[in-house]
Amino acid sequence: MQTGAAFLAQSREYLTGHYLPKIRAAVERLSEEDTWWRPNEASNSVGNLMLHLAGNIRQWIVSGVGGVPDVRDRSAEFARRDPLPRDELVAILTEAVLEADAVLARTDPAGLNDRRAVQGRTVTTLQAIYHAVEHFGMHAGQILYIAKLRTERDLGFYRLEAGIPRPVWPGHPGGGA
């Protein structure tokens, strides 16, 4: 597999096979109240982070790479205080990730150096995808941390076998359903 094609395949795998399933599993363990809990006004709730991830991935990949008009309202992602139910948040985020995955599936690796405008910046297609995936991973980690903090439990995404951590999160080969 060529480098560009491998980059696109791995980006899709991280979004759909690693980050999204872990976020879903973590959110399932939270109460509705804990989904919108925030330690202080300078910090985000899991709900706000999920809305933010959906907005960001749509802006950077669906719009920036895929060419769909950008309708993002970034400040609304963080300002929301009237809680949406967890299942609605999961549906919003899942839909955004699947839209991004469809764009990545049809992205030509030969165009990874093409320039495009996202958030008022000129970036390459590769930079837009790389940013969106690393940004998603950063906030996924925050969501998982909050879930562990609020439930006081390990999320159980890895099992040690002969001292080697093996992935067992839902949707991962060898993981749960």
d(CA 140, CA 46): 9
Residue 126 phi, psi (nearest 5): -60, -45
130: pLDDT strictly greater than 80: yes
The model's pLDDT over 102-120, given as tens digits with 9 standing for 90+, comes to: 999 999 999 999 999 999 9
d(CA 9, CA 108): 11
Topology of 3-167 in CATH? Four Helix Bundle (Hemerythrin (Met), subunit A) (1.20.120)
The model's pLDDT over 59-84, given as tens digits with 9 standing for 90+, comes to: 999 999 999 999 999 989 998 888 89
pTM of the model as a whole: 0.94
d(CA 169, CA 22): 7
